[in-house]
Amino acid sequence: MASLVAPLACGISGASSGSAEFYQQGTSAFATVYSDPEGVTQVTTHTLDAYGGISRYVEERVDVVVLSAGGATVRTFSWGTDAREARVENLGFTGTDAEGATVAGGRTTVDAVLTSLYASLGATDGNVLVNGSSTTLSEALSSSAGLVYNIKSGYGAVGDGIADDGPEIQAAINAAVTAGGGIIYVPHGTYACATPPVVPNSTGK
């Protein structure tokens, strides 16, 4: 969702039928501005109404210059939030609840979320650090595809303590042996096996 530039929506005194200019904060580059809160329709002209008002939305911090109908500067101000200020609540991250306790789903900042992801991934720009090199997650996963054999997602084991998962577990073991080795990943669960899986002696396990 884009943020409504509230001062403009309320109208600026002395700016009747004037205009507004939006710049990326601290620069002379024009900012991306929208006419709708969903941030779908971009607009580049901003003519104010008789009350000096207009509804415009932004998704970044901007510097706004309000001009009179004659082109004189009436007012300048900054608007919007950045990652250090924007607050979010998501069950995937801890934050502060109404009582001040740190809980999953509590309120935190986008900056804290991004910092947490960076610490977890180990690399910048959404990449992951693998053996000291920054790479995309898809590349990292594709390079490990032949090393990890997930008995659930890869071979159909259930892990509910009822279904016979023996054939699926054996299939994963056989695939790893055929490939010359690998990791058999057993997600949390209870696995029933009518026939115990067989691990060839050549694996050393």
Same domain, residue pair 66 and 98? no
Q: How confident is the model at residue 98 (pLDDT cuts 50, 70, 90)?
A: confident
Q: Is residue 139 part of a domain?
A: no
Q: How many domains does the chain have?
A: 3
Our measurement of the distance from residue 152's CA atom to the centroid of its chain's CA atoms, rounded to an integer in Å, reads 27
Same domain, residue pair 58 and 24? yes
Report pTM.
0.46
Q: How confident is the model at residue 202 (pLDDT cuts 50, 70, 90)?
A: low
Spatial strand order of the sheet with 94-96 comes to 87-89, 107-109, 94-96, 102-104
Same domain, residue pair 194 and 161? yes
Q: Is residue 73 part of a domain?
A: yes
Same domain, residue pair 60 and 8? yes
For residue 145, the model assigns a pLDDT of 57
111-162 tens-digit pLDDT: 888 889 999 999 999 898 877 889 887 777 666 656 788 999 889 999 999 9
Length of the chain: 205
Q: Is residue 31 part of a domain?
A: yes
Domain that holds residue 8: 3-79
Same domain, residue pair 7 and 74? yes
Same domain, residue pair 7 and 68? yes
Write phi, then psi, for 120 (nearest 5 degrees). Answer: -75, -40
